[in-house]
Amino acid sequence: MPYYVVKDGQRVGPLSDEEFQNRILSGEIGPDTLIWQAGMADWKRYAEHSGLEAPPPPELSPQPTFLTGPTGVCAECGNTFVRDELVSIAGASVCAGCKPLFLQRIREGGALPSTFQYAGFWIRFVAKFIDNMILGVMGLAVQMGILGVNLGVTPQPGEFNFGQMALSWGFGIAIGVSYTVFFLGKFGATPGKMALGLKVVRSDGAPVTYGRAFGRFFGDYLSGLILGIGYLMAAFDDEKRALHDHICDTRVVKN
């Protein structure tokens, strides 16, 4: 339905929805601009018409049980929709429910939600391989110390020392936890991910806390325990999430 606006005391229109939105983005239509369209009793300020001054939270469109055809992610709410249900505004895709809030954010000059470029399965696999190599070297050094030098004991051929093996396993877990929690909590990425320009973030783009990094380590451990199926999930998920990403509400994105 076309719009009419008042500019410099003159009525301008009719304007299509696209023309109207373009004028909002360019700043030509502001909160005090008078607008009118069929069905309105009188001319209104744009702010009164759109609720710009006190916007209600957007009503998110319900997530369909089955999505047919190509899908995309709304940059505002993070939900997945069929691409035909998304609108492209300022280089971002948003759903119909988030469109008013997104336009308001642009008009007010606020920061736009990040549009992530998710890291795929294979680049994550290589990053994991690099981290495992580093942890393997660290673990080997600790294991050699525990089984020989530090305890002053050299196992005889065929001899199995359960206490030493349990201690070695415990140190290995401690090294893995410390490695993951420190790097994710401080830098948002382990050395393997840093080497490939990857970063771990929350679904809204917020950094990962030390507590969430701690939980993610054990979620990662679980992904490997179930025959690696937790890792394979990243190859088929729209946002490239592995099992531990689902558990901890994280995403691996390209920096």
Across the chain, mean pLDDT equals: 77
Whether residues 197 and 158 fall in one domain: yes
206-224 pLDDT, tens digit per residue, is 889 999 999 999 999 899 8
Whether residues 70 and 163 fall in one domain: no
Whether residues 107 and 131 fall in one domain: no
Q: What is the mean pLDDT of residues 167-173?
A: 79
Residue with tokens 């744009």: 46
Residue with tokens 């942890």: 135
Whether residues 105 and 219 fall in one domain: no
Q: Structural domain tally of the chain? A: 3
221-254 pLDDT, tens digit per residue, is 899 899 899 999 999 988 899 999 999 999 999 8
82-121 pLDDT, tens digit per residue, is 777 888 776 567 788 888 877 776 666 554 555 678 899 9
Least confident of 44-48, 68-72, 186-190: 68-72
Whether residues 160 and 221 fall in one domain: yes
Whether residues 78 and 153 fall in one domain: no
* Residue 97, domain member (yes or no): yes
pTM above 0.85, yes or no: no
* Residue 153, domain member (yes or no): yes
Whether residues 245 and 153 fall in one domain: yes
Whether residues 236 and 147 fall in one domain: yes
Q: How far is CA 213 from the centre of its chain?
A: 15
**Are 37 and 2 a contacting pair, CB within 8 Å?**
yes
Q: What is the chain written as a DSSP string?
A: --EEEEETTEEEEEE-HHHHHHHHHHTSS-TT-EEE-TT-SS-EEHHHHHT-SSPPPP-PPPPPSS--S-EEE-TTT--EEEGGGEEEETTEEEETTTHHHHHHHHHTTPPPPP---B--HHHHHHHHHHHHHHHHHHHHHHHHIIIIITTT--PPTT---HHHHHHHHHHHHHHHHHHHHHHHHHHSS-HHHHHTTEEEEETTSPBPPHHHHHHHHHHHHHHHHTTTHHHHGGGTSTT---HHHHHHTEEEEE-
Q: 144 Cβ partners below 8 Å, 6+ apart?
A: none
Strands annotated E in 209-255: 250-254
Which residue type does 108 have? E
Structural domain of residue 96, as residue ranges? 61-113
User: What's the pLDDT score for residue 53?
Assistant: 43
Whether residues 244 and 126 fall in one domain: yes
Domain boundary among 97, 113, 129: 113
* Residue 194, domain member (yes or no): yes
Whether residues 139 and 101 fall in one domain: no
Whether residues 27 and 84 fall in one domain: no
Q: How far is CA 173 from the centre of its chain?
A: 27
* Residue 186, domain member (yes or no): yes
- pLDDT(7) > 70: yes
